[in-house]
Structure 1
Amino acid sequence: MTDAGRAVVLDVIGLEREHVDAGLAPNIAELVPEPARADLGMPFPAVTLPAQSTLATGQSPAAHGDVANGEYDRETDSVALWERDRENRNRLWETASEAGLTTGVFCFQHLIGTSADVALTPSPIEDEENTILEMNCWTNPDEFYDELEADYGHFPLHTYWGPGANETSSEWILNAARESVERYDPDLLWVYVPHLDYAGLAHGPSSDELAEAIGVVDELVGEFLDSLRGDDRWDETAVHVASEYGFHDVDTPVYPNRALREAGLLQVRDDGEGGEEVDLESSTAFAMVDHQVTHVYADEGAVEAAREALSGLEGVEHVLGESGKEEWGVAHPNAGDLVLVAEPSAWFQYYWWRDDADAPFYARDMDIHAKPGFDPCELFFGDEGLVSLDATKVGGSHGRGDVDGFYGVGGPAADASIPDTVDARAVAPTLADRLGVDVDTDFEHDPL
């Protein structure tokens, strides 16, 4: 590829090559001609945080350690989603920033503390019960969010996730990214565009809702591209459009924690408000669910009992032990003792109760911090609370890694063609090669 003075990455989550080829996204199709379109192969598991870390580092989950959206702490018997610190991990924008380039990144996970020159991630001010007291975003530089809020209002968190999720959040993020170009002129700009994810999860890839959402996001991307075309650096710009995964249509929710409870391996306790909370300290096995993937953490003597309890569940295609984790690329200390892979039409829900009257207090609320597993039911309003407990409503899922995302490159500084299929681990080193910086990756590759 030709060297580019500026690289822009648009992570249009849920976009697939067939959507572009079929004309559902005309602005993206105009930017990325057919020889420059590819299927993007994502290493297992194809869920948000592992996929983002792979794209931004050039490493597989077994190397970078993000094997799920959640993280289980064996020492404290605690689980948390979305809360891992950056620690000493460098992603491409941090590497490029340290090399003297100006970098920007918007709404990727684990951005707080990044050294990117301009960065933004939602960070509402909450009380001890995780109740939002005030909307806020963490930004570099500090005053950037106040300036954005003055021009565009507060970040619309209620449209970023939950029953009210829609394109408003994508529009706000792209407006903020456009402001970053005008104010800070980054050499590398990486932008997460979220809202296709909502239609894909709620309604599935075969739905009219997803097709309509593709058209909406394409219009927003088109407006952002028009702003880039009008600035002084367009002639030296290459725009990379990437998507972390595609979706399966699903109709079978699977409940591994119920099976572990029935086998006497998972224990519960009173949550203090009339419901049942999982008692991780007293349990000998627990399943941290994540779309079509589940990590099962078990005491040393309980692994085989957990395997026996889970192997026969309808909707479970694979139960991976040590050799299976090696084969599937998740052999890392953060992974479960067992890893479950769902059948294409199935997905995993965290519930351990049978009667909804026994659900913990947070189950009917939008509380991503309290729930020890990813909950797509948060996309549906409930009859007795904000969030539905009817898992059969969920129409789409992902994680198996067998539905490719999309990758394409366009703009004046892009070459005319790329390989038909691109390994997601090649994205970061290709961008690094353009920008003249080095990244450590865990596979042999040539820049695209």
Structure 2
Amino acid sequence: MARRAWHVHCQTVRRDPPRMASAFRTPGWTREAPPHPLHPGRRAMSESKPKTLVILAAALGWNLIEKHKPATKIAFRPVAPGPLSLTCPAQATLRPALPPSRHGIVASGFFHHDLARPYFWEQSAALVTGPRIWDAARAAGQTVGMAFWQQSLGERLDLVISPKPIHRHHGGIVMDCYTRPEPLYAELCADLGRRFDLFHYWGPLARAKVGRWISEATLKILARPDAPDHLFVYLPSLDYDLQRHGPDSPQAAAALLETISQIEPLIAAAEAQGREWLLTGDYAIEPVAPGDGAIFPNRILRAAGLFHTRETSKMLYPDFFTSRAFAIVDHQIAHIHVPDPANLPQVRDLLAAEPGIAEILDRAVQSERDIYFPERSGDLLLIAAPGRWFAYPWWTDPRHGPDYANQMDIHNKPGFDPCELFFGFPPPHTSQKTEKIRGTHGRAGPGHEIAAAGLFPEAKTFLDLATRLRSHLSPAS
């Protein structure tokens, strides 16, 4: 988000259709099937192969279902999560049915060594490596769509919709969604009578309204005669109040019921069309320990003289060019980058003395767990203890924080900042009080199962779900 993101000018931005590389061009199709009305270069799906709807719901954990026992006909079941229970790694795992060591997404951001800067919440599909689970279906003439997934821009798909605001050079943003075909967003806004509100998607104003918009827009897409044969949709809004109030709170129970109310119409529409469907969570949120559950690895490294800063107008900015160690954090996972291997023993000893850190994994152990990816993974990977999480700040005096510290800025911070879910003072500044965070995620293993329903009741793990979905989408299956 831009620093002055609250000065908003909403308008539709026109774009030229993206130029696709030859590897992403639509292959030739058989002549027997009629042209697809929305995608004239493709052919309609054979009626003998069922269509599918895949719903990925943020923070839909089995612990949430067991705790609150929502009244619903959806038959939930527990499934083991991926080894990194984070947003982008989970979404990336589902697309090629590969672990992080092969698809390359090891957090919702990464540090680019050549450019010496962090990148969070990037949208290019090229960041996710590996063949897609729908490639065979598209090669056979079937159509595939994706709504509101991260790293979906440039994906080999027939329909895409994703938030894509325009950041103005003088501050403020133009709210917009990227769609392919391009007119789709304007058509959905006209059908729904309202635009997609980015401030309901993330920040202090993030709320269930954004999930309702996505659910209703998905219903409109499914109702079109040119709806994709296979549609993937992401519902984000359950996550917000679970982080604000914790998964055991009354607010979490209400958020779960709200999310189920977004999901049930999608399942009903899919079944009415004869579509098969899969519903799955991506991670389970656990309660934060009483008090302040935050751990500050960059403060630890700075106090030891390993993390360097430069002072500008009394604000401390990171100096990644000269730092000997620094952390890129995402909830309960932290990637520690140590440019000179000679400093690794000192860094490891420093961090091992922090009681909130449960595990410190070197490259070899990360590789054994299928979570190490060259150039993106840290030399060390930290996993927080239960109820603890990693915060990115390196300063201790709020007056010395960089200008983005109290702003909703998801791209410049070297880590995910859940404090952006709260207002600071004065508004529209965001909070810097880590003690406000009551729910977190990232840890895997027993007790962190996600909830799933629909297809593949025999699947035991999230990766198994993805593998079975790949086989299911194959025309040869």
Tell me the TM-score normalised to structure 2 length. Answer: 0.83
In 1, distance between residues paired with 2:123 and 2:50? 33
User: Aligned with 1:26: secondary structure?
Assistant: coil
Q: Is the 1:257–1:286 contact (alpha carbons within 8 Å) kept by the matching residues of 2?
A: yes
Aligned to 1:41: 80
Whether 2:51 is the aligned partner of 1:51: answer no
Is residue 275 of structure 1 aligned with residue 315 of structure 2? yes
Please tell me whether the aligned partners of residues 133 and 473 of structure 2 are also in contact (alpha carbons under 8 angstroms).
no
2:435 aligns with 392
CA drift of 1:99 comes to: 3.6
Aligned pairs, how many?
418
Q: Render the CA deviation track for 1:21-79: whole Å, top value 9, x for unaligned.
A: 6774434xx243xxxx4322122211011111112221111111111111111122111
Measure the CA separation in 2 of the matches of 1:128 and 1:260.
Answer: 34
- Which residue in the other structure is 1:217 paired with? 259
Change beyond 3 A, Cα 1:219–1:374: same
1:193 and 2:232 are equivalent in the alignment:
no
The percentage of counterpart residues that share the same residue type is 31
Work out whether residues 10 and 242 of structure 1, in 8 Å CA contact, stay in contact via their aligned partners in 2. yes
The answer to which structure has the higher helix fraction is: 1
Match of 1:405 among 428, 450, 465: 450
Q: Distance in 2 between matches of 1:205 and 1:156?
A: 25
Contact kept in structure 2, 1:62 and 1:330, CA below 8 Å: yes
- Tell me: CA distance 1:98–1:142, structure 2 relative to 1, closer, same or farther (3 Å): farther
SS of the counterpart of 2:150?
coil
Contact kept? 1:118, 1:180, Cα under 8 Å: no
Greater relative CO (CA pairs within 8 A, separation 6+): 1
Indicate which of 180, 199, 204 corresponds to 1:158: 199
Give the letter aligned to residue 392 of structure 1. E
Contact 2:53 2:270 in 1 (8 A): no
Segments of structure 1 that go 5 or more residues without pairing to the other structure are 439-446
Q: Quote how far apart the aligned CAs of 1:202 are.
A: 1.5
1:104 to 120, 145, 162: 145
The question of whether the paired residues in 2 share the 8 Å contact of 1:41 and 1:424 is answered with yes
CA distance in 1, matches of 2:253, 2:165: 32
The question of 1:430 aligning with 2:471 is answered no
> Given residue 58 of structure 2, which amino acid in structure 1 is its aligned partner?
I
Q: CA deviation at 1:112?
A: 1.0
Q: What secondary structure sits across from 1:332 in the alignment? A: coil
2: CA distance, partners of 1:72 / 1:167: 32
State the distance in 2 between where 1:128 and 1:437 align.
Answer: 48
**Cα distance in structure 2, aligned partners of 1:177 and 1:84:** 20
Of 284-293 and 99-108, the range deviating more from structure 2: 99-108
**What is the 5 A alignment of 1:273-352?**
273-300=313-340, 301-333=342-374, 334-352=376-394
Matches within 5 A, 1:21-36: 24-27=69-72, 30-32=73-75
How many angstroms does 1:326 deviate by?
A: 2.5
SS of alignment partner, residue 339 of structure 1: strand
- 1:12 paired with 2:57, answer yes
CA–CA distance in 2 between the matches of 1:137 and 1:54?
24
| Counterpart in the other structure of 1:68 | 107
Whether contact under 8 Å (1:19, 1:25) holds in the other structure is no
Shift of 1:430: 1.6
How far apart are residue 217 of structure 1 and its match? 1.1
Instruction: Note the residue ranges of structure 2 that are not aligned, 5 or more in a row.
Output: 1-47
Q: Is the 8 A contact 1:94 1:116 kept in 2?
A: no
Cα deviation code 1:220-248 (max 9, x no counterpart): 22233333444xx22xx211110011111
Between the aligned partners of 1:331 and 1:84, the Cα distance in structure 2 is 21
- Distance of aligned partners of 1:186 and 1:163 in 2 relative to their CA distance in 1, 3 Å threshold: same
CA offset digits 1:166-211 (Å, max 9, x no partner): 1110011111211211222222111101111112211111111111
Contact 1:43 1:329 in 2 (8 A): no
Sort the Cα spacing of 1:393 and 1:134 in 2 relative to 1 into closer, same or farther, 3 A: same
Task: Tell me if the contact between 1:56 and 1:427 (Cα under 8 Å) persists in the aligned partners.
Answer: no
Tell me, in whole angstroms, the C-alpha distance in 2 between the residues paired with 1:437 and 1:31: 28
The offset of 1:140, in angstroms, is 1.1
Secondary structure of 2:460's counterpart equals strand
- The one of 213, 216, 219 equivalent to 1:175 is 216
How many angstroms does 1:337 deviate by?
0.3
Report the residue type matching 2:326 in the other structure: F
Q: How does 1:231-242 map to 2 (within 5 A)?
A: 233-234=273-274, 237-242=275-280
CA distance in 1, matches of 2:266, 2:371: 37
Structure 2 distance, partners of 1:89, 1:140, is 22
Q: Summarize the Cα distance change of 1:354–1:12 in structure 2 as closer, same or farther, 3 Å threshold.
A: same
2:307 matches 1:266:
yes
From 383, 395, 399, the counterpart of 1:357? 399
SS in 1 for 2:241: helix
Which residue identity is paired with 2:300? A
Is the CA contact (8 Å cut-off) linking 1:16 and 1:404 kept in structure 2?
A: yes
Change (3 A) 1:325 1:432: closer
| Letter of the 1:11 counterpart | L
Question: CA contact under 8 A between 1:58 and 1:424: conserved in structure 2?
Answer: no
**Maintained 8 Å contact 1:163/1:381:** yes
Secondary structure at the counterpart of residue 146 of structure 1: helix
Change in 2 beyond 3 A, CA 1:110/1:268: same
Task: Identify if the C-alpha distance between structure 1 residues 215 and 384 changes in structure 2 by more than 3 Å, giving closer, same or farther.
Answer: same
Give per-residue Cα distances to partners, 1:301-334, cap 9 Å, x unaligned.
3222221221111311111112321233222212
Structure 1 residues 119 and 304: CA distance shift in structure 2, 3 A: same
Aligned to 1:82: 121
Q: Aligned equivalents of 2:368 and 2:212: distance in 1?
A: 40
On the 8 A contact 1:13/1:244 being kept in 2, the answer is: yes
- Tell me the CA shift for residue 433 of structure 1: 2.2
Q: Distance in 2 between matches of 1:209 and 1:194?
A: 16
